[in-house]
Amino acid sequence: MDTFSTSKPNVEKLFTNRKRQDHEWKRFPAVRMVLFVFRVFYVWPQKRMDPSEQFRYRLKGVAFRCTVIYLSVAAQAAYIFTIEKRQDLIDGLFVLSTQLVLILKIEFLYKNISKIQDLFYQLDAELYVSRNAEEDLPLAKARKKTSIFGMLYFMFSDGLITYWLFYALTINGLIVPSWYPFDYTSSYAVYLVILIFQTVCMLWNAAFNISWDSLVYILLSLANAQLQRLQIQLVKVRFQAKLKMITVKPVQSQPGRKDLLSSVQVDQKSAEDVYNDLLQCIIFHQKLIKFVHQVLELFGGIIVVQLFSSVFIICIAEFHLLTEVNTLGELLRGLPYLICMLLQVYQYCFHGNEISYTAQKVHQATAFVNYPDMNIKTRKLLILFQQRTAVGIPCYAKNIFKIELSNATFVAIIRSSYSFLAVLRTMIN
Average pLDDT over residues 31-57: 87
> Does the pLDDT of residue 162 top 60, yes or no?
yes
Please compute the mean of the pLDDT values over residues 289-306 and round it to a whole number.
92
pLDDT of residue 20: 38
Instruction: Calculate the CA 212 to chain-centre distance.
Output: 9
| pLDDT value for 267 | 46
The lowest-confidence range among 173-187, 327-341, 343-357 is 327-341
What are phi and psi for residue 246, nearest 5 degrees? -115, -20
What pLDDT is recorded for position 238? 63
CA distance 281 to 287: 10
pLDDT in tens, 229-255: 999 888 888 644 444 444 445 545 455
pLDDT digits over 86-143, tens only?
767 777 777 888 888 889 998 899 889 888 988 888 877 777 888 888 888 888 888 8
234, 281 in Cβ contact below 8 A? yes
Taking each helix axis as running N to C, give the angle between helix 188-237 and helix 328-365, from 0 to 180 degrees, rounded to the nearest 10. 20
Torsion of CA 389, 226, 304, 80, to 10 degrees: -170
Give tens-digit pLDDT for 5-20.
Answer: 444 434 444 434 444 3
Residue 214 has pLDDT above 80, yes or no: yes
Q: What is the pLDDT of residue 244?
A: 44
Does 358 score more than 90 pLDDT?
A: yes
Closest CA to 157 of 213, 109, 101, 108: 213
Closest CA to 395 of 348, 428, 429, 362: 348
Q: What is the 3-state secondary structure (H, E, C) of the chain?
A: CCCCCCCCCHHHHCCCECCCCCCHHHHCHHHHHHHHHHHHCCCCCCCCCCHHHHHHHHHHHHHHHHHHHHHHHHHHHHHHCCCCCHHHHHHHHHHHHHHHHHHHHHHHHHHHHHHHHHHHHHCCEHHHCCCCHHHHHHHHHHHHHHHHHHHHHHHHHHHHHHHHHHHHHHHCCCCCCCCCCCCCCCCHHHHHHHHHHHHHHHHHHHHHHHHHHHHHHHHHHHHHHHHHHHHHHHHHHHHHCCEEEEEEECCCCCCCCCCEEEEEEECHHHHHHHHHHHHHHHHHHHHHHHHHHHHHHHHHHHHHHHHHHHHHHHHHHHHHHHHCCCCHHHHHHHHHHHHHHHHHHHHHHHHHHHHHHHHHHHHHHHHHCCCCCCCHHHHHHHHHHHHHHCCCCCCEEECCCEEECCHHHHHHHHHHHHHHHHHHHHHHC
Instruction: Give me the mean pLDDT over the 260-283 stretch.
Output: 69
pLDDT of amino acid 26? 62
Task: State pTM to two decimals.
Answer: 0.81
The whole-angstrom separation of Cα 218 and Cα 237 is: 29
380-397: per-residue pLDDT in tens? 998 999 999 998 898 998
Mean pLDDT of 23-42: 79
Q: Residue 317: what pLDDT? A: 83
> pLDDT band for position 429 (50/70/90)?
low
The letter for the amino acid at 321 is L
pLDDT of residue 240: 45
How far apart (Å, rounded) are the C-alpha atoms in residues 422 and 415?
Answer: 11
163, amino acid identity: Y
> What per-residue string of b and e applies to 146-162 under the rule 16 or more CB within 10 Å gives b?
beebbeebbebbeebbe
> Bridge-partner residues for 244, per DSSP?
265
**Contact assessment for residue 293 and residue 272, using Cβ atoms and an 8 Å cutoff:** no
The answer to whether the CB of 46 falls within 8 A of the CB of 35 is no
- Estimate the crossing angle of helix 71-80 against helix 188-237, to 10 degrees: 110
Mean pLDDT value across residues 386-415:
88
Contact of 242 with 267, CB cutoff 8 Å: yes
